[in-house]
């Protein structure tokens, strides 16, 4: 197996990160290996997770998005029916489809660096390799790996101000929105 380059933004998860993630998710984040990407403010944005949780459950989502404002933006896009459109484009555009298959292979190879969960050995995330089913999952990969690995996710993220390739902090504005909604 060829060795992949190091993840460009990866850093250790500190006890403080675990606390922040608990706030972000409203529960403990399980299977944390490292922080694959941080928001501009330093908060965890994408967590790299173990292929198998401590209780033995396989955990295929190797790059897990935790950043609330970005999660919300992607959920809004999902609500517009964007995944059906993107899946259709994959059927029509052979070049894009090949790139997406490459992103799938990369996802599996990256996860294999951390161990093996044979039940999900051929399962990546987000609908890869032929469909787009979860924008959060594919965006997690793009944010962790940088541009050019998952072209579908690159394009989706490019449509969100401040999300990609730099990840600018919008946490404060999101906190204020949430406060107003209360």
Write out the residues near Zn ion by the rule CB under 5 A: 39, 41, 43, 169, 171
Closest separation in Å from C-beta 154 to Zn ion: 21
CB 157 within 8 Å of CB 141 = no
Closest separation in Å from C-beta 36 to Zn ion: 15
Q: Determine how many CB atoms are found less than 10 A away from the CB of residue 174.
A: 17
Nearer to Zn ion, 61 or 66 (CB): 66
**Angle, helix 135-145 to helix 151-158, in steps of 10 degrees:** 100
Closest separation in Å from C-beta 21 to Zn ion: 13
Closest separation in Å from C-beta 14 to Zn ion: 16
Taking phi first (over 0 means left), then psi (-120 to 50 degrees means alpha), and beta for anything else, what does residue 34 get? beta
**What one-character-per-residue DSSP string does 96-142 give?**
HHHHHHHHHHHHHHHHHTT---GGGTT--STTTTT----HHHHHHHH
Closest separation in Å from C-beta 104 to Zn ion: 29
Nearer to Zn ion, 58 or 162 (CB): 162
Nearer to Zn ion, 82 or 174 (CB): 174
Go through 52-84 and write b for each residue having 16 or more CB atoms within 10 A of its CB, e for each that does not.
beeeeeebbbbbbbbbbbbbebbeebbeeebbe
Nearer to Zn ion, 128 or 142 (CB): 142
Nearer to Zn ion, 42 or 147 (CB): 42
Residue matched to tokens 């990160």: 17
């Amino acid at each position: 197996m060829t060795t992949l380059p190091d993840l460009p933004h990866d850093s250790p998860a500190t006890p403080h990160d675990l606390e922040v993630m608990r706030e972000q998710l409203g529960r403990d984040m399980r299977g944390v290996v490292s922080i694959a990407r941080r928001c501009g403010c330093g908060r965890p944005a994408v967590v790299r997770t173990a292929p198998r949780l401590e209780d033995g459950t396989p955990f295929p989502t190797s790059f897990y998005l935790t950043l609330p404002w970005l999660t919300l933006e992607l959920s809004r896009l999902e609500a517009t029916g964007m995944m059906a459109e993107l899946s259709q484009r994959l059927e029509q555009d052979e070049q894009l489809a090949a790139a997406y298959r490459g992103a799938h292979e990369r996802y599996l190879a990256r996860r294999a660096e951390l161990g093996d969960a044979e039940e999900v050995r051929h399962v990546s995330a987000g609908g890869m390799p032929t469909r787009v089913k979860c924008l959060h999952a594919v965006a997690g990969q793009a944010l962790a790996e940088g541009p050019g690995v998952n072209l579908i996710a690159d394009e989706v993220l490019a449509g969100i101000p401040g999300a990609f390739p730099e990840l600018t902090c919008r946490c404060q504005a999101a906190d204020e929105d949430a406060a107003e909604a209360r």
